[in-house]
Amino acid sequence: MKRFEIYEPAMCCSTGVCGVDVDPVLAQFAADLQWLAEQGVEVLRYNLSQQPQAFAANPAVVKEMEAGIERLPVVTVDGQVVSTGVYPSRDQLRQRLEHGAAAGQRVVAIPVVEAGGCKPGSGCC
């Protein structure tokens, strides 16, 4: 059975409503994961503020975080990192489901240019 693991930034809840503004992507992603689980895939979701042990136990995830905290969320399929800095869409999840971790390009977030510009080592340039 395939195993999807999602390492998320510190949030107090999975849909993000506890922030000041709801991120619809998060709510949609929660529903997408439920869909994924219904396809017979093991889905594990870790939140940095609640399950830090899962992050600490995975050197690949720690390495991503050292490159920049904005690399979260990190998604792994069977232990391999398949995306960083973005919540994959249902289509992207379906693709991973059908073809495994090796299929296609690693999904990365389009870097958000902040007022201070890109920082060296942040992974955005």
Binding to other proteins (CB under 8 A): which residues in 65-94?
65-66, 68-69
Alpha helical stretches, state H, the chain: 24-38, 52-56, 59-67, 90-99
**104 binds other proteins per the rule CB under 8 A:** no
Output the CA–CA distances (angstroms, integers) from residue 57 to 45, 77, 82, in the order listed.
14, 16, 18
CA 47 – CA 111 distance, rounded (Å): 22
Binding to other proteins (CB under 8 A): which residues in 21-40?
21-24, 27-28, 30-31, 34
x/- mask, other proteins, residues 42-61, rule CB under 8 A, reads ------xxx-xx-xx-----
Pairing outcome for strands 74-77 and 42-47: unpaired
**108 binds other proteins per the rule CB under 8 A:** no
Q: What residues line the site for other proteins (CB under 8 A)?
A: 9-15, 17-24, 27-28, 30-31, 34, 48-50, 52-53, 55-56, 62, 65-66, 68-69, 112
